[in-house]
């Protein structure tokens, strides 16, 4: 049974999702949610909070591997830089924890989960709910996105 951690990085909100691949091929959601940082905190304090909270998740669940969504931004460079900083902190925490780290672009995640690289957010959320046999779509969106990243990794790793 393999446990993978998926991460959707952000400074204000970082989504995380832990998915277990069972011996029969079933995917099971173990835990998911978001790491929130207060907007009134300094950028460096927010990054430290992200690092500390991610380490708590790693210690609690001890996943075998981690997958992080690659950075994608088209218009707002300031937002892209902040997300890049959060992504760097995530990668550092995972590296220091000795994790095997994999990275997937948003289109790779959409292709792996919905079968279409340009799937809409609602399609993705519904596919995550279906694949993990959840009663409701995981909330908030960042948590559903992180679960999708974990699903992508587990499904990709089966064939490598």
pLDDT 10s digits, 37-89: 999 999 999 999 999 999 999 999 999 999 999 976 566 666 778 888 999 99
31 is catalytic: no
Catalytic residue among 69, 126, 141, 145: 69
* Ramachandran angles phi, psi of 20, nearest 5°: -105, 135
d(CA 134, CA 105): 25
pTM: 0.94
111-160 confidence digits (pLDDT tens): 999 999 889 999 999 999 999 999 999 999 999 999 999 999 999 987 66
Q: Does residue 142 carry a catalytic annotation?
A: yes
| 141 belongs to the catalytic site | no
User: Which residue ranges form the domains of the chain, and what is each CATH number?
Assistant: 2-157 (3.30.420.10)
Q: How are strands ordered across the β-sheet holding 100-104?
A: 27-36, 13-21, 2-8, 65-69, 100-104
């Amino acid at each position: 049974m393999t446990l993978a951690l998926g991460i959707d990085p952000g400074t204000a909100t970082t989504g995380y999702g832990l998915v277990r691949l069972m011996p029969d091929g079933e995917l099971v959601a173990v835990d998911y949610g978001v790491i929130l940082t207060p907007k009134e905190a300094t950028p460096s304090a927010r990054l430290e909070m992200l690092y500390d909270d991610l380490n708590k998740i790693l210690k609690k669940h001890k996943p075998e591997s981690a997958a992080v969504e690659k950075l994608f931004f088209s218009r707002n460079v300031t937002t892209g830089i902040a997300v890049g900083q959060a992504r760097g902190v995530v990668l550092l925490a995972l590296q220091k924890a000795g994790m095997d780290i994999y990275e997937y672009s948003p289109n790779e995640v959409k292709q792996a989960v919905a079968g279409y690289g340009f799937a809409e957010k609602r399609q993705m959320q519904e596919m995550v709910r279906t694949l993990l046999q959840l009663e409701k779509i995981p909330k908030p969106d960042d948590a559903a996105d992180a679960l999708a990243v974990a699903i992508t990794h587990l499904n990709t790793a089966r064939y490598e």
